[in-house]
Amino acid sequence: MILQVKNLITRFYSVDGVVYAINGVNFALDAGETLAVVGESGSGKSVTMMSLLGLIPQPPGKIEGGQAFLFENGEQQDLLKMSDQQIRRVRGGKVGFIFQDPISSLNPTMTIGKQIAESMTEHLGLNRLEARKRTVELLNEVGIADADRRFDSYPHEFSGGMRQRVMIAIAVACQPKIVIADEPTTALDVTVQAQIIELVQRLQEQLGIAIVWITHDLAVVASMADRVLVMYGGTVVEDALVNDLFDNPQHPYTIGLLKAIPGVTKMGAEERLESIEGAPPDLLRELTFCPFAPRCQFVSDQCLTELPPLITITKQHRAACFYDAEKRKIKEKEVEHGQ
């Protein structure tokens, strides 16, 4: 284990009131694994990761609870207790990150090469010449042709896919243990997405990095994740190995999600997709019961009064739901027959 997040709570004090964005998130990350984080818009995927990296604007944001231990050489450090300067050293050092929109995270007035080289001089203490040499190697490695000349290009001279390659180069430049990628391919075309996924997987193998990959695309999850966190309403509702999640989903939201997309079980128009009726929760209210309860077909009184904790089902599979799996199977049959 290289990262363990315990009971993270993040809120925003906005003009509309308190946004209860993250309501007790728990997860762990093993060295070298790929952890996918899925969930609908607003479920707290980005805010969780930004909280760990000290990227929450404060105010309006405030991290109100929790711990996030980074383990290294038998030592542990709590990311949430670090000073600004300490967390900046972690960011881009031991933990690299890639954002959805590379244009806003690259400095438009600085050459691509300089941006990469600078982080190397800062984090690895290389001199300018060494940093340039390694940058060119790295640009080559991430598939930028003619890297020596491209060193002096500005971000706007690159296409979307190339910029994302540059972001990846920056993320891995300082030999990180973890790379957090927030929807890194959402803005890209599918054929370019395939290139980027292949690149990240190759780098991961070579460098032994653990990857946290935020996405809303379950097919991307299926193609690259070892393990999956499903988020809903600012909580983790399920945590499972990828095969278990698709074969044996436990949380009603995950079950619904898998039935709502074609290609898992339903291929033809003859079979109807099952939609999850209703809308995601309003985060302006404090979470005192299951966030999925208003949309859940298995809802009981307990679901409406208590927040279900993550319950261990098997060693590697946890879900936050009061409903018993056996009962659920029976109920599902009834529902099917009822229709």
- Residue 118, phi-psi category: left (phi > 0), alpha (psi -120 to 50), beta (remainder): alpha
Q: Which of 193, 204, 235, 250 binds other proteins (CB under 8 A)?
A: 193
Q: Which does 293 bind (CB under 5 to 8 A by kind): Mg ion, ligand SF4, other proteins, none?
A: ligand SF4
As measured in angstroms, the least distance from the Cβ of 64 to ligand ATP is: 13
Round to the nearest angstrom and report the end-to-end CA distance of the chain: 46
Inter-CA distances, 162 with 4, 181, 333, Å: 33, 16, 49
Q: Which of 28, 222, 299, 313 binds ligand SF4 (CB under 6 A)?
A: 299
Q: Which two tokens stand for residue 83?
A: 């000073």
3-state SS assignment for residue 5: strand
Does 292 interact with ligand SF4 (rule: CB under 6 A)? yes
* Tokens 């993250």 -> residue: 22
Nearest to 43 by CA among 62, 57, 23, 63: 23
Site pattern 37..56 for Mg ion (x: CB under 5 A) = ---------x----------
The footprint of other proteins on this chain (CB under 8 A) covers a number of residues equal to 50
Does 41 interact with ligand ATP (rule: CB under 6 A)? yes
33-41, 223-231, 239-247, 298-306 -> range binding ligand SF4 (CB under 6 A)? 298-306
- Residue 204, phi-psi category: left (phi > 0), alpha (psi -120 to 50), beta (remainder): alpha
Distance CA 280, CA 303 (A): 16
- When computed from its CA atoms, the radius of gyration of the chain, rounded to whole angstroms, is 21
Does 204 interact with Mg ion (rule: CB under 5 A)? no
Angle made by CA atoms 218, 219, 224, in degrees to the nearest 5:
100
* Tokens 């299951």 -> residue: 290
Does 230 interact with ligand SF4 (rule: CB under 6 A)? no
Distance CA 331, CA 298 (A): 8
Q: Which does 292 bind (CB under 5 to 8 A by kind): ligand ATP, other proteins, ligand SF4, none?
A: ligand SF4
How do 34-38 and 210-214 pair as beta strands?
parallel
Does 21 interact with ligand ATP (rule: CB under 6 A)? yes
Site pattern 273..312 for other proteins (x: CB under 8 A) = xxxxx-xx--------------------------------
As measured in angstroms, the least distance from the Cβ of 315 to other proteins is: 19
Give residues 189-228 in contact with ligand SF4 (rule: CB under 6 A): none
Nearest to 218 by CA among 25, 19, 39, 22: 39
> How does DSSP assign 67-124, residue by residue?
EEEEEETTEEEEGGG--HHHHHHHBTTTEEEE-S-HHHHS-TTS-HHHHHHHHHHHHH
How do 178-182 and 95-98 pair as beta strands?
parallel
Q: Which of 137, 146, 189, 205 binds other proteins (CB under 8 A)?
A: 189
Does 323 interact with ligand SF4 (rule: CB under 6 A)? yes
Site pattern 146..175 for other proteins (x: CB under 8 A) = -------------xxxx-------------
Does 39 interact with ligand ATP (rule: CB under 6 A)? yes
As measured in angstroms, the least distance from the Cβ of 332 to ligand ATP is: 28
How do 75-78 and 95-98 pair as beta strands?
unpaired
As measured in angstroms, the least distance from the Cβ of 316 to Mg ion is: 26
Q: Which residues contact ligand SF4 (rule: CB under 6 A)?
A: 251-252, 290, 292-293, 296, 298-299, 303, 308, 321-323
Q: Which residues contact Mg ion (rule: CB under 5 A)?
A: 46
Q: Which residues contact other proteins (rule: CB under 8 A)?
A: 40-41, 159-162, 189-195, 197-198, 216-225, 242-243, 246, 253, 256-264, 266-269, 272-277, 279-280
Q: Which residues contact ligand ATP (rule: CB under 6 A)?
A: 12, 14, 19, 21, 39, 41-47, 57, 60-61, 216, 283
